[in-house]
Structure 1
Amino acid sequence: MFEFRLQAQCPVTGARAGEFVTPHGVIKTPVFMPVGTQATVKAMAPFELEEIGAQIILSNTYHLYLRPGADIVEEAGGLHSFMDWHHPILTDSGGFQVFSLATLNRVTDEGVECQSHIDGSRHMMDPEWSMEVQQKLGSDIAMCFDQCLHYPTTKEEAETALARTTRWARRSKDAHTREDQALFGIIQGSVYEDLRRRSAEDITSIGFPGYGIGGLSVGEPHHIMYEMLDVLQHVMPFDKPRYLMGVGHPSNLVEGVARGVDMFDCVLPTRNGRTGTVFVSTGRINIKNQVYARDFTPLDPSCDCYVCRHFTKAYIRHLYKAGEILAARLCSWHNLHFLIKLMEGVRESILNGTFPAFRKNFIEVFHGEGDSVENESL
């Protein structure tokens, strides 16, 4: 039911193009996955995501457990039916909330005692809980329960979290029984090379159909993230998909692919869209700036998305200034289109053997500074 087919690899960098077969369709990699935390990609309808070429979206186990509740989603026929998205879905484990809601949580080897950020109610999150919820949600890809740490963190703390993540991965696999759902393991180890290697060895020895790389894009400089990816590129299984969690800045995507990563997700394109920041071929702009008040050109003249074909910077700026919801929708639409088409271009260049030139040209032209990327919204 699940198969990863490697179609091409760049001999210079190790960038890969492949296909991952799932019950709801074949995912062509490398791929960017829009984040639909609450069973919806913010400001976007499912048919609009299809129009821009989204292949797979990510939803959040913790948030859907709190509302509307996993039982309700299961009664609706699972996430695909509930949100009318009939393509692949990946659900995270809830483990990231151990990190992002740290002030509300108490972590032990058994699991995480969590206080709801909605109503203050108390809940116990552990690998068995995560597997039960994700199986009720019915995603194509589920993630093992893990512990992610802030940056910086001490090596001792990172080693403790690594060991806990490994134990939780074994418990996750033991509790996971749904055959039409692939369970991915997650590699931790913070920014310590030896811990990353150890985690990769420990998690891959358990055996999963795919592997996430967690604990990056949590505040560390980009060059350190790349150093960790360089380490993992040579120790992760060659014949399984590799998923870098929580990364969505365009430069990070291209550099991640260059280091053998196949899958990415991030809230960045929609979060930026809601604040008026948009990606363009030469970097990024904030459409709310006064300079665009009489700019009657598209957001990006080289873009063929619906937004750029029909609207101008002046109009979209006007929408923001007038407080119109359409402003966030249009900028989110454009940003998602930008990242999805970027990945399509990367994939094509790997298949035709021109990825090194594609990478060099993109980095030279795209001057956008790295944003603070985050794995999921709260």
Structure 2
Amino acid sequence: MKKLSVNNLNSRSFNTSTRTRPLNYLLSFLFLTSCLIFLLFTPKQAHAACTYTGTSSSTYTYTAANYGNAATLTLTGTWRCRGTSGSYGTSAYTCIKPVFSSPMTGPNASYTLPYTVTATAGVTTTGSNATTGTWYGPGTTTVSNNYMTITLTIAVPAPSTILPAGTYTSSLKLYVDMQAASGTVCEGGTGDNNGWDSGSIDYTFNYVVPGICYLTSVTDIDFGNIADAGVIDSNYDANGAVVTRCNVNRSYSIYLGDGNNRITGGNRRMVNGSNYLAYQLYKESARTNIWDSTGGVTATGGSGGVAGTGTGSNQTFTVYGRIPQGVSIPPPGSYSDTVVVTVTY
């Protein structure tokens, strides 16, 4: 069988076939090798780009102690541009353009936080109150080892009211454009594709307003002089006041302590030496509901307190005092008591 099979083959065709196959592999190998060498030795095109290194986001958190002051955030970094040749370089002049939206928005659309912008790139500056979408410069490009210093300052003026608690946020895009031709006119366009020596930086900044309540002031209650003898013939009434200032929409409670000499479940008492004069403090002019600290001072909504809702501005609450009719009159003298006022929010 083996011999019959070989004899039936054409020897010339067999030889041609066996010689052609190695030649095909050789041609394929040479072709693939030349392609590989071409890919390995084809030079890669350089990419032009400007990069910012530094702080691009920051947060300012108010406290009850500093809320009434102006608040400033400063973000700094460096800027460097690579030309089409792959080397870092600069152009003679620099222009900048901030694009932003003031005021900042927070948890309640009706209340916002205004701010001003100051941006500087090298010696080019917007000044202390930049206008969005405006080119500033050109200034002479100032760098160190091809690094230009970039500074952005966000300034919020002292708030006139205590805004709702929450985070107020805004963003800003700063365009930086170096130019070679003009030292008098900025040549930048509307975007950041103005050549190898231009680009933009994206910033975000936040201002956090915490829950705040101030006990702004209290007014003493002065009952004046008592001319009765033995017992009080008719009520002696006098008023005081508590002034608070809390976040817009902030719920809070005002509690009045028992004073130093209150009878449990009964009247408060003023004192002079070992003698006492009874009195009471109320929530309303009818003097029906006693104002005290029942329900505790560590939570809002206690039944003894007076509830308030902040407006961001001062709010005045009248304290209604009374020396009730029928109270025994102690020996002559000046009688007083001290009551602690607590605002819980």
Q: What TM-score do the two structures reach when normalised by structure 1?
A: 0.19
Of Structure 1 and Structure 2, the greater helix share is in 1
Highest RCO, 1 vs 2 (Cα 8 Å, sep ≥ 6):
1
Q: Computing the radius of gyration over CA atoms, which structure comes out larger, 1 or 2?
A: 2
Q: What TM-score do the two structures reach when normalised by structure 2?
A: 0.20
